[in-house]
A and B are shown apart, each in its own frame.
Chain A
């Protein structure tokens, strides 16, 4: 058999084995990502600490459409101006950290409102940090949309640009 043919067969086999191993090893993660469910469970709470719960794409859309929740963008002001979930409020994490204890984190949003924080999805931790600050400042129902902007954008849901 020609050397090229042997190489093509070997390369195909190696790629197939890698794909099979990768998919099997990460089957739960991939299934969650496919369904649009949160891919990372909340870490165990420290003593006395209340952690925000992850929420999936479908629920975020449903709650936002029904006006049942306020969606808050934890990314920088520049990123918000460039693109954000339509209807979201800007609250960059850095700004929120400065505001704590001085002025309300979210003006005109009642403490009994349902608040959903998001950032760039995947491993971005800003939404989780912001959600913790919101809980700390008295908001009772705070969630984190883990898929964040990438998942929202890929689903073809409405986006907006500019200041809010």
Chain B
């Protein structure tokens, strides 16, 4: 087995986990600002913007830590993929409605919806790759006759 085949799955998994940890920390540190970012999408009502801002960063952090540590990888990759699909749908709705706001993805610094959408597509592909590597790695079940 070549070095690339051996280390690529680990590299992708750790990179994806690291990105989600990096994204979660500023939001946990300043939930009010993140609630403002969520509210600027004009999708959720007032209280639910706060609720999302309170819970979502912890989900990102837990999945990030588990992905980096290699524990419960399949479940975390599925959550990360689902989150990215939701993020992409929200960003697409921004583009359709012509709202030019900060995506709030990594806290601070304005990112255009198009750039954020492309970035999330890459993260979604990474989550898909992690799942694919995980399926290949898992040995087939033993069938007893």
B-binding residues in A (CB < 8 A):
3, 7, 10-11, 14-15, 17-19, 21-23, 25-26, 29-30, 33-34, 39-40, 120-124, 147, 150-151, 153-155
Q: Is B70 an interface residue, CB under 8 A from the partner? A: no
Q: Is B54 an interface residue, CB under 8 A from the partner? A: yes
| Chain B residues near A39 (CB-CB < 8 A) | 32, 50
Sample (20) of A-B pairs whose CB atoms are under 8 Å apart: A7-B74, A11-B79, A18-B55, A18-B58, A21-B58, A21-B62, A23-B55, A25-B28, A29-B50, A29-B54, A33-B46, A33-B50, A120-B39, A121-B36, A122-B35, A123-B35, A123-B37, A150-B39, A150-B49, A155-B46
Q: With A23-B54, A122-B32, A123-B36 known to touch, is A34 a contact of B47 (CB < 8 Å)? A: yes
- Contact count band on B: 20 to 34
Measured in the bound complex, the distance between the Cα atoms of B31 and A91 in whole Å is: 28
5 A-B pairs with the lowest CB-CB distances in the bound complex, closest first: A122-B36, A22-B55, A123-B36, A10-B75, A18-B59
**In the complex, are the beta carbons of A14 and B62 less than 8 A apart?**
yes
